[in-house]
Amino acid sequence: MAEIHLEHVSKRYMEERRPTYAVRDVSLTVEQGEFVFLIGSSGAGKSTLLRLMSGELAPDEGTVCLNNANMARLIGPWRVRAARTFGVVSQQGLLIRKRTVGENLMLAASAAGMMRRKGREAVKKALGIVGLPGVEACYPAELSIGESRRVELARAVLNSPSILLLDELTANLDDDVIWDLLHLLNELNARGTTIVMATHASQYVNILRRRVITLVDGKVAGDVKNGKYGDIVG
């Protein structure tokens, strides 16, 4: 079980020598098993918020807690254990082009602390989960965009994380590929995995009717259960 709790969290960057808030005074809780769409226009702060949730970024103000533990204060094995709670797909993609899919995933398995045999089993299982069994020997360039995203997702689920943080997983994909991915995410969610997904895919948000958190200029403008794209009542 894993719960993320943000209390008055802000993150700022220097832009033209002036501090600019990417995320401003955000307080929210994501409970284990929730499926959350994080929406907002480009620059609204979605990626920054996901990186704060995973502990990759530390807030300038406020606290991000995982199961009541302040992530900024975690050290050593506690930090490693917290990091393994999350499976992350970032916008820029993390696959190394000169390595095969299998090698890429084995690197992730090794980083997650798995020995070779367990790693190979986990890679096989993760590729099966995302519907791409047997692509270990392919190079990322040989895959379609949709297949690459699936491999990124396989990389994220390798360690059976409690929480998946997905940044624009469905960007630039055809409709049927998006549906396949969302179907897969629904299945993972039905088995208990928490999903927080930054997306612009309004039509899917409107059909799936999950919790919708809307960011405007780094602030939460709406947080609606069974919400639709553009709902900004709290």
Q: Which residues in this chain contact ligand ADP in the complex, by CB under 6 A? A: 13, 15, 22, 40, 42-48
* Least distance (Å) between residue 46 CB and ligand ADP: 4
Shortest separation between residue 45's beta carbon and ligand ADP, angstroms: 4
Picking from 58, 52, 90, 3, the residue whose alpha carbon sits closest to that of residue 218 is 52
- Cβ nearer to ligand ADP, comparing 47 with 54: 47
Q: Find the helix or strand (DSSP H, E) in which 67 lies.
A: none
Residue closer to ligand ADP, measured from CB, 16 or 176 = 16
Contact present, 38 and 202 (Cβ < 8 Å): no
CA-nearest of 157, 194, 148 to 37 is 194
Using the minimum distance from each CB to ligand ADP, give the nearer residue, 43 or 230.
43
Minimum gap (Å) between residue 200 Cβ and ligand ADP: 9
Q: Which two tokens stand for residue 76?
A: 């050593």
Which of 110, 172 has the CB closer to ligand ADP?
Answer: 172
State the nearest-atom distance from the C-beta of 212 to ligand ADP, in Å. 14
| Minimum distance of ligand ADP from residue 22's CB (angstroms) | 3
Which residues are within 8 A (CB) of 169 and not within 5 positions of it... i.e. 6 or more apart? 89, 149, 152, 153, 181, 197, 199
Complex with ligand ADP: residue 104 or 170, whichever CB lies closer: 170
* In the block, residue with structure tokens 């940044």: 167
CB of 210 to ligand ADP, least distance (A): 18
Q: Which is nearer to ligand ADP, 24 or 104 (CB)?
A: 24
- The tokens for 164 are 């998946």
